[in-house]
Amino acid sequence: MKRFTLILVMLSMLIPVFSQENGDKKMDDFINKLMAKMTLDEKIGQLNLPGAGDIVTGQASSSDIGRKIKEGNVGGLFNIKGVDKIRAVQKVAVEESRLKIPLIFGMDVIHGYQTVFPIPLGLASTWDRGLIEQSARIAAQEASADGICWTFSPMVDLCRDPRWGRIAEGHGEDPLIGAEMAKAMVKGYQGDNLANNNTIMACVKHYALYGASEAGRDYNTTDMSRLRMYNEYFLPYRAAVDAGVGSVMASFNEVDGIPATANKWLMTDVLRDQWGFDGFIVTDYTGINEMIAHGMGDLKQVSALALNAGIDMDMVGEGLLTTLKKSLEEGKITEKQIDMACRRILEAKYKLGLFDDPYKYADPKRAATEVYTDPNRQAARKIAAHSFVLLKNEKQLLPLKKKGTIALVGPLADAKENMPGTWSVAADFSKSISVLQGMQEALKDQATIHYAKGANVYSDSLTEARVSIFGKPTGWDNRPEDVMIAEALEAAKKSDVIVAVIGEAAEMSGEASSRSDIEIPANQRRLVKALLETGKPVVMVLFTGRPLAMKWENDNVPAILNVWFGGSEAGYAIADVLFGDVVPSGKLTSTFPQNVGQVPLYYNHKNTGRPLPDGEWFQKFRSNYLDVSNDPVYPFGYGLSYTTFRYGQPVLSTNEMGMNDKLEVRFSVTNTGDYDAEEVVQLYIRDMVGSITRPVKELKDFKKIMLRKGESSQVSFTLDVEDLKFYNSDLQFVAEPGEFKVFVGGNSRDVKEVSFFLK
């Protein structure tokens, strides 16, 4: 057995050479020839990815970056925007550098380009692979029309701590959702052929475990067992690799005591050798330099560590550019390693078709006609509406009628720059539509809106200034709180119904926007309280980039619609849902806790040896808290509709499944309400006994179905043994015989169950 494994290992070591020689012979010949002409400096230059700085078109050649490009010291640039600028810089590379190697242009196209889609946490809430792929497809089309051929997306960091601001950029707490979203996005960006001029290379990030930073504080330490990595946190990265992602970005955090950027086990053993990744790896922003502060050595040392680990490209910090030659002289690295990294970057450029036409992605005609088009905006509006999650709807307060008078209040009701949310670097904020505008457009003259701001985002201007950045002013209002509330009450008095648009401003989530308090800011809550005291019906439209602790709101406000940050067209989409032109169908992919003390709170947890019995609040010597129950406010998978659905009892095709069998789960779903609507049907399992402890529930599949009112449909899912496998203590991927439960339902809590045995 041991000898067999050794042979396998030796064979797998040969595979890169084999595929390099035979995989794409034309590419290999081309790159071999090119590299034969390259000096060591030029090879190292390809590994360098500086930011664009403040390049302007006319001076591209004479700028500092221009000089470096001419000298062959730049492989690509990132976050330079606009087709003219990009053409000008590319011209310097292909006309003024010795070997005329084109540059690769990257950008954080995270949830759309100029047509902006919901933040990824919102996109995930659609539970719709097709819509997510479509959003990435459109983003790629627009970005590639404007000069970009590489995006730093998808971000697939699993996260169970809503304090972390970057939870907004990922897909929530579940490995399967993360993996499905990763696949859909890679497919959307890269299409079937990277060489097409409307597809771009994806970059899955941040590899790995960045979403598990301690205390939800950004850039903080992570530490977790390999079992948890392999069974949970690795799945989305792996799915992106399986889907053919062209590049991977290293994360800032450490993994097993070594920063990811210097972690050979992570970058080479797992990513390349176990998963077969054959693209290139880029660091995160100054990721190499930051290892000095991590305590890994000086710039020369940490740069050599990064190359040795398997890093190919250095974002911004120029550690590789400035130290590799010296490390080579000292024997700390080999020329072969530099060659390999350089080759991978040249391969990416080749695959993108840049050697055939360096201006392929910078066609001014396309830039003028293919960006922010009506069809793209229509798609964004539809996708936004599908991402909203109806959290509460007492007495069917929603949808609202298009008549009478509506008080529209809250700091986010007329805040158009805040609509696209965090990481919308290519958005044109002047074009986004506020909630006020969207509602006015929907109502025309059928109803009257009385608008009042009612509150600032925060009660103090200092905290508010911290989130009033990146061109997203929150419009701080100097008036005292009670004056603003009084104005809102005036508007309320004149109205039949109150719509309160409150929550987080866009930059309260995203990078370096962690919060230790995840409630709605107290001054906004005071506004809502005052509005409720009028006795008029209140609908809360909630903006947020993370799960919030909203026990008070859930207990007191009759209707709550969570709209995340829905993108450039969200103003229209919010009106579509509020007035019932679209029936909400979004479901949470991240648990909303009662308070921050329960964090991390997630549905797929382990049972412990002292679980609290279902429905109980507290028992001494059980796993619980004195002051809060273990329940969330809104569980994973949860989201209401304007209609209701009834699930039938699931039936299995067999109660005993062999290792090579498939098992069918069938059940009915009936639309029992008054609206035609979509429902996200969810399938979970529980492995009852294992050689390691297993989660109390694991999502295994989901489907979105459309049912007309009164209609009933048979739904079926198929499970095979792959769905039942997990990594055991020896990190072998196995399925173990024994009892399994199967659960079906419209969320992770309210389910019907049945069980079977795996033989």
Q: Give contact residues for ligand BGC (rule: CB under 6 A).
A: 79, 108, 152, 205, 284-285, 511
Contact 20, 278 (CB under 8 A): no
Of 223, 220, 255, the C-alpha closest to 516 is: 220
Q: How far apart are CA 468 and CA 466, in angstroms?
A: 6
> Vertex 329, ends 324 and 331: CA angle to 5°?
90
Q: Is 609 exposed, middle or buried (0-12, 13-18, 19+ CB in 10 A)?
A: exposed
| Least Å from the CB of residue 685 to ligand BGC | 33
| Least Å from the CB of residue 154 to ligand BGC | 11
Known catalytic membership, residue 284: yes
- HSE on the CB side for 164, CA within 13 Å? 29
Longest Cα–Cα distance in the chain: 83
Q: How far apart are CA 550 and CA 504, in angstroms?
A: 13
Q: Which of 108, 157, 284, 314 is catalytic?
A: 284
**Amino acid identity, position 415:** A
**Measured from the CB atom, is 294 or 392 closer to ligand BGC?**
294
Helix, strand, coil content of the chain in percent (nearest 5) = 35, 20, 45
| Least Å from the CB of residue 629 to ligand BGC | 36
Of 213, 226, 135, 211, the C-alpha closest to 174 is: 211
| SS3 assignment, position 468 | coil
| SS3 assignment, position 759 | coil
**Amino acid identity, position 657:** M
Question: Residues with Cβ < 8 Å from 29, sequence gap 6 or more?
Answer: none
**Measured from the CB atom, is 84 or 511 closer to ligand BGC?**
511
As a whole number of Å, the end-to-end CA separation of the chain is 26
Other CB atoms within 10 Å distance of the CB of residue 498: 25
| Least Å from the CB of residue 151 to ligand BGC | 9
Taking phi over 0 as left and psi of -120 to 50 as alpha, with beta for the rest, 470 belongs to left
**Amino acid identity, position 474:** T
Question: Residues with Cβ < 8 Å from 665, sequence gap 6 or more?
Answer: 650, 651, 652, 653, 683, 716, 717, 718, 719, 742, 744, 754
Q: How far apart are CA 266 and CA 256, in angstroms?
A: 10
Contact 300, 308 (CB under 8 A): no
Q: Which residue is nearest to ligand BGC (CB)?
A: 152
Other CB atoms within 10 Å distance of the CB of residue 515: 19
| Angle (deg, nearest 10), helices 175-190 and 235-242 | 30
Token digits of residue 138: 């459109």
Task: Give strand ranges (E) for 383-496.
Answer: 389-393, 404-409, 447-452
Of 320, 373, 369, 313, the C-alpha closest to 341 is: 313
Q: How far apart are CA 90 and CA 73, in angstroms?
A: 14
Token digits of residue 490: 């005036």
| Least Å from the CB of residue 49 to ligand BGC | 10
| Least Å from the CB of residue 550 to ligand BGC | 28
Q: How far apart are CA 60 and CA 54, in angstroms?
A: 10
Q: Is the peptide bond before 399 cis (omega within 30 degrees of 0)?
A: yes
**Measured from the CB atom, is 96 or 511 closer to ligand BGC?**
511
Token digits of residue 584: 């909400």
Q: How far apart are CA 510 and CA 515, in angstroms?
A: 11
Quickly tell me which residue has 């989305």 as its tokens. 236
Q: What is the DSSP string of 23-42?
A: TTHHHHHHHHHHHHH--HHH
Quickly tell me which residue has 């009257």 as its tokens. 448
Contact 388, 409 (CB under 8 A): no
Contact 44, 324 (CB under 8 A): yes
Q: What is the DSSP string of 49-89?
A: E-B-TT--GGGTTTSHHHHHHHTT--SEEES---HHHHHHH
Q: Catalytic positions, please?
A: 284
